Structure 1
């Protein structure tokens, strides 16, 4: 089942902020069993957001939209969602009162502009946000179930874990497993040459490469009949990949080259001095 990610914010399209949300969400959705096939970033322009929502509604089953739920004039995501659905905005007074109470906890008075964070497209499901002021919401457009969440990473991650994962769990197809291998001392093309033919001989295998100096990371992703089968096969293929590349493989996903070197130095009873 496919999933798409739509990030909204002019600060992203201008390069003023790095879109870490999309990377995190892509990895989480992949782990759940979704095929994440598209990341799109749109600036804070109403018609362009509406156009993106319409297209995603016809091409994916699950869509997560981040950003644009704040209280300022350039926060247009909720309005765009209502327009895309052809429904009106409705204010939830209990949500507004909850935001007002959060301000009181800090000894402040809620600016009236924050009241717009209590507006939702008619018929949308509200996703509560206990760690921030902007609630999210969920709604169906076309063939897709959309989840709208704040762009603040801490708030987005909380709503994803508490509200979105339980909602999409039944839609996922958990039949994949991915193994990460880190290499050192080979070029990206050299690693690819060493693994030539693996995808043709192993059904359901997709190899991915990521150059991150001084390492090349290889992702061994297998889709099979079950998670257990996918894990078994991906581990076996990863071992075959290790054999093909010999001592160029220095570790797995959480084993950076510096960590491997430090461990080898300690195991040998040696010390290492560096100067900059």
Structure 2
């Protein structure tokens, strides 16, 4: 069974267009590398009720939800509570995470800011994910066939946490053994509509996911397949590449 995922970017600043959301595109590629089929990306405002509704709907579909943003120390950071409510559990203070955060402030010779303990709360039963790149701790929780992981919205922190701990934790939690591999053919000098008609049978093959991607004068035919390794992927993809080249010739 293919694991399905979605990405939810949280924050009024994202929804209102003041911040360009590059995190979702990056995470979609990373999740694909782990073998997840990403169903959709979503941007949600800071209203807790809206966040709960969106997360719960995704969890009810069996999706693995990755949220970005809304886990800081301020009153409008509501992702933690929203996730706990959607999961149907209590939001608990992680005392170990709090102690480590207090130690970090002490080592810097700084006073621990009032309210910063909010950054150390996580849904009951979730796994703590360390943030070595900022102050907001993260978490990972399973729910049925899916679950949820919460990351900060700052790209540098998000990518660092993913590489340092979260990626490996997801692989272990979901028992992942396959990932997506892709191959492309670049085409010049043929309209997209004609290409679609000529390549429809090859693109709609049941052995791989095919797509036509248009970028200025270059059109790319891309196939994607879930496999354990490159050899297994090539076994499925090479016949499609050969069929495309035979049909299109030197285009």
Q: Counterpart in 2 of 1:189?
A: 193
3-state secondary structure, aligned to 1:112:
coil
Cα distance, 1:53 vs structure 2: 1.6
User: 1:79/1:181 Cα in 2 relative to 1: closer, same or farther (>3 Å)?
Assistant: same
CA RMSD of aligned residues (A): 2.7
User: 1:86/1:232 Cα in 2 relative to 1: closer, same or farther (>3 Å)?
Assistant: closer
User: 1:110/1:135 Cα in 2 relative to 1: closer, same or farther (>3 Å)?
Assistant: same
Where structure 1 has 5 or more consecutive residues not aligned to the other structure, the ranges are 249-276
3-state secondary structure, aligned to 1:197:
helix
3-state secondary structure, aligned to 1:196:
helix
User: 1:181/1:109 Cα in 2 relative to 1: closer, same or farther (>3 Å)?
Assistant: farther
Moved over 6 A (4+): none
Q: Give me the TM-score of the superposition, normalised by structure 2.
A: 0.84
Following the alignment from structure 2 to structure 1, what is the Cα–Cα distance between the partners of residues 193 and 20? 27
Following the alignment from structure 1 to structure 2, what is the Cα–Cα distance between the partners of residues 74 and 98? 24
Pairing 1:146-157 to 2, within 5 Å after superposition: 146-157=148-159
Q: Counterpart in 2 of 1:160?
A: 162
Q: Counterpart in 2 of 1:18?
A: 20
Q: Deviations for 1:112-166, whole angstroms, at most 9, x for unmatched residues?
A: 2322101222222110011111111012334422111112222222222333332
Contact 2:203 2:223 in 1 (8 A): no
Cα distance, 1:106 vs structure 2: 5.4
**Count of residues in Structure 1 that have an aligned counterpart in Structure 2:** 247
Following the alignment from structure 1 to structure 2, what is the Cα–Cα distance between the partners of residues 143 and 172? 13
Cα distance, 1:58 vs structure 2: 1.5
Where structure 2 has 5 or more consecutive residues not aligned to the other structure, the ranges are none
Structure with higher Rg: it is 1
Cα distance, 1:33 vs structure 2: 1.8
